[in-house]
Structure 1
Amino acid sequence: MASPTLDPAPTRCRVVMAPNPYTTDQPKIFLSGSIDAPPATWQSLLTAALSHLPITILNPHREDWDSTWREEVDFAPFREQVNWELDAMEAADVVAVYFNPKSPAPITLMELGLFVRGKKMVVACPEGYVKRGNVQIVCQRFGIEVVDNVEQLADRVVKLLGDLGVMKEI
């Protein structure tokens, strides 16, 4: 007798990649952090850990990003990307931040500075990140806990969603 095939648990979350629109009634999580090379990125690990929740994940990674793109205000694709990210962070119920120890992550530091006052941020900053002390002090000043890894980041996202009252069910 053949053994039954087990289907993986259904995914309840929706992932929206930049620069796509994201109109939704679900709680929104923005992924702020360095864009790592596949296959195992912090974004994919966090998304997998949250996939059972009825949420929308706003991921700024673009499959069509071209290294020849100019990072200048008059270059339309770049301007579109930056505006999508800013709009998505403002629209998010939670901004999940990850500082990869292998990247200086200057944009992530800027995003931390822009949104740390809103109390809707969770931060993972592993040992080895070059500006870890700065991140810890800024987060401490504004009452944001700093965790060490993606697993803890996922736990804090779920807790913050509950604390903010934006989850109908967890």
Structure 2
Amino acid sequence: MIYTSTNKLPKKEKGKEYFFLAGSIDYHLQSNWRQEIINKTGSSVHFFDPTRIDHNELSNFKMKEHIKWELDALHISDKIILNFLPNAKSPISLVELGMYVSTSKLIVICPNEFYQSRYIKVLCNKHKTSIFNTINQAVQYLSENYETYN
């Protein structure tokens, strides 16, 4: 199941894991990294996807609701997959990294081309946070370490 900020957050089900898909968004790219991760998982995983195509057009009230939804979904997630796209600035993703780097929830994907990759890699290593250069490496890690992911 995929939940977006237009959905009410669910009550967590036993035997299911909940992953938040955090990270860079580029609406101009042909491929959608979030969908790629979803397509490579088993049915025991539920996803929180914060993507909103109308993000920049949201009223102040709707934006506040969207931000609250994201914060609540991050909080209840079992894992947070945080992907930095090579050419993005991703200020919100950097905030999310800071919020969760010292927890065991975070799985980071940060290619060397990302402008702050060296800083992110040192930070993740200091906090023993899983970090990968590619989505495929992260998916491989998930499939080897989480039964519900397969």
TM-score (norm 1): 0.78
Who wins on radius of gyration, i.e. which is larger? 1
Q: Secondary structure at the match of 2:80?
A: strand
Residues 59-74 of structure 1: pairs in structure 2 closer than 5 A: 59-63=49-53, 65-69=54-58
1:133 matched residue in structure 2: 118
Shift of 1:19: 3.1
2:19 matched residue in structure 1: 29
TM-score (norm 2): 0.88
Percent identity reads 22
2:3 matched residue in structure 1: 16
Distance 1:109 1:156 in 2: 22
Q: Secondary structure at the match of 1:140?
A: helix
1:78 matched residue in structure 2: 63
Residues 49-60 of structure 1: pairs in structure 2 closer than 5 A: 49-50=40-41, 52-60=42-50
Shift of 1:120: 1.3
Shift of 1:39: 4.1
Q: Secondary structure at the match of 1:101?
A: coil
Shift of 1:114: 0.2
Residues 1-170 of structure 1: pairs in structure 2 closer than 5 A: 14-23=1-10, 24-25=12-13, 26-37=16-27, 39-50=30-41, 52-63=42-53, 65-69=54-58, 75-162=60-147, 167=148, 170=150
Cα 1:136/1:61, change in 2 over 3 Å: same
Q: Please, which runs of 5 or more residues in structure 2 have no aligned partner?
A: none
Identify which of structures 1 and 2 has the higher relative contact order when contacts are C-alpha pairs closer than 8 Å and 6+ apart.
2
Q: Secondary structure at the match of 2:7?
A: coil
Distance 1:140 1:19 in 2: 35
Q: Please, which runs of 5 or more residues in structure 1 have no aligned partner?
A: 1-13
